Copies of this chain bind each other. A is one copy, B any other.
Amino acid sequence: MLVIDRLREYVKENRSDIVSDLRSLIKHPSVSAQGIGIDECAGVLNGIMRDAGLESRMIRFEDGNPIVYGEVKGESSKTLLFYGHYDVQPAEPLDAWRYNPFSGIVTDDKVHGRGAADSKGNVIAVIKAIKAMLDLNGTLPLNVKVLIEGEEEISSVHLPAFVKEHASMLKADACVCFDGSLNPSGSPNIYAGLKGLLYVEFRARTASVDMHSSLAPIAPNAAWTLIKVLNSLKKNGRIMVEGWYNDVKVPSKDDLALLDRLEYDVESIKKDYGVKEFIGKVKGKAALKRLLFEPTCNIAGIYSGYVASGSKTVLPSEAFAKVDFRLVYDQRPDELFNMLKKHLSDMDFTNVEVTMLGSLEPSKTDPNARIVKAVASAASNVYNIEPLVFPNSWASGPDYVFTKLLKMNSVWTGCSPAHANIHAPNEFTSVRNVLDGICYVSSIVQEFAK
């Protein structure tokens, strides 16, 4: 049995190898939205996994980015599956970066670059934890499977089909999605469920060309049509599409008990973003409850007509809005999308089209499940702080492929720094956080093996 102190020594001794492999991953761009460097990065990752002692390979499919998958047999018949991703967000705007986003430059404790925190540092933590256990003990206390995909930043388009097709290969007693970060108090966020997502675009077309706005008394305006559509979607914070809440499960007693114990400073969001009041003037625990358990309908973008400076009297023939819906357990994006289409036709919006741009199902794991307890114990062991275990997350991810398609319990966590400029310029991770992450993953394996 490994003790944490021995692990801490090990990662210190191997710091330069660990950092070197992390930098090597960062130097291979792997921007899935732009199709840059995917194969090369997957190849490098596969090499790092093999070096760590995993039986690893790249699994390619026709029109998707390869999945890198590896296994190590352990001492018991128990199996733990780890999920991560090697693809990254685009680095634009490039001139906003202090250092080249694909150089992996190290300054003191920081490693800079696109993907450093989201999620190459997390991936390195998982792989190096396995190597650490093998190096120190010669064996693992249970079987470990590692699935690293290359499409997380583009809605994991091929992951559901892959998982269904490889269900027996991926069979495990539980899953840890290691793609998260620490909260500002310094311990990892642990989520026993993620929201789903339905991302759509509404497009109104009311004429073949734009008109002079003097025709407004009789000519239909695409922007007005779009606004009527958007306005029909929500009333007093509630989504007005028929059937939208049909499959929403109320939080369980255990979820609510967990919420009640959560020491999360939701009020700090106001200061961070310059918000005066939350919607409905909700505060504290009530705000947190909404954040975790409410489905949303968010306008992510809207555009029509003349938007440069000054005035132009135009009557727009076209308008569009991008809207993302966060879904809670057990809403299903495909069904909801059909409800949206029905809503448009019921309300006679015949010149408005809705297109689905992406979707993820929500996931949920019982907060009393063994994997949740094991991960929470590991976090306590490594970070010496009572960890924050959330009964649900406000963000989304492909966790449902494990909970729903593979019917296993799953937890979302990770070791990246709290404010690491994820999806923004000047992303970085901290070497200390990656080294702690290695200890964290090792401890999760130990705890779950118990």
Contacts and interface: CB of A to CB of B under 8 A. Distances in A.
Interface in A275-296: 275-279, 282, 287, 290-291, 294, 296
A276 B307 CA distance: 26
Interface stretch (A159-167, A217-225, A368-376): A217-225
B300 A213 contact: yes
B394 A302 contact: no
A357 interface: yes
A197 interface: yes
Contact of A291 (B33, B215, B227, B395): B215
A134 B292 CA distance: 84
A207 B274 contact: yes
B291 A316 contact: no
A304 B351 CA distance: 22
A57 interface: no
A296 B212 contact: no
Interface stretch (A318-326, A382-390, A429-437): A318-326
Given A214-B394, A273-B209, A324-B311, A306 B296 contact: no
A269 B218 contact: yes
A327 to B, nearest CB: 12
A33 B215 CA distance: 24
B316 A211 contact: no
Nearest to A222: B299
A316 B274 CA distance: 13
A207 B302 contact: no
A216 interface: yes
Given A213-B326, A306-B300, A282 B218 contact: yes
Interface string A194-208: 010101000000111
A14 interface: no
B302 A214 contact: no
B296 A301 contact: no
B300 A302 contact: no
A214 B306 contact: no
25 contacts: A33-B310, A155-B311, A195-B214, A208-B274, A211-B273, A212-B395, A213-B300, A213-B324, A214-B326, A214-B394, A217-B296, A217-B394, A218-B279, A219-B278, A220-B279, A221-B298, A221-B299, A276-B351, A298-B315, A300-B305, A300-B311, A301-B307, A302-B305, A303-B303, A311-B357
Given A199-B311, A208-B274, A216-B296, 13 more contacts: A207-B274, A213-B300, A213-B326, A215-B394, A217-B279, A217-B296, A217-B326, A220-B278, A299-B305, A301-B305, A302-B307, A310-B357, A311-B358
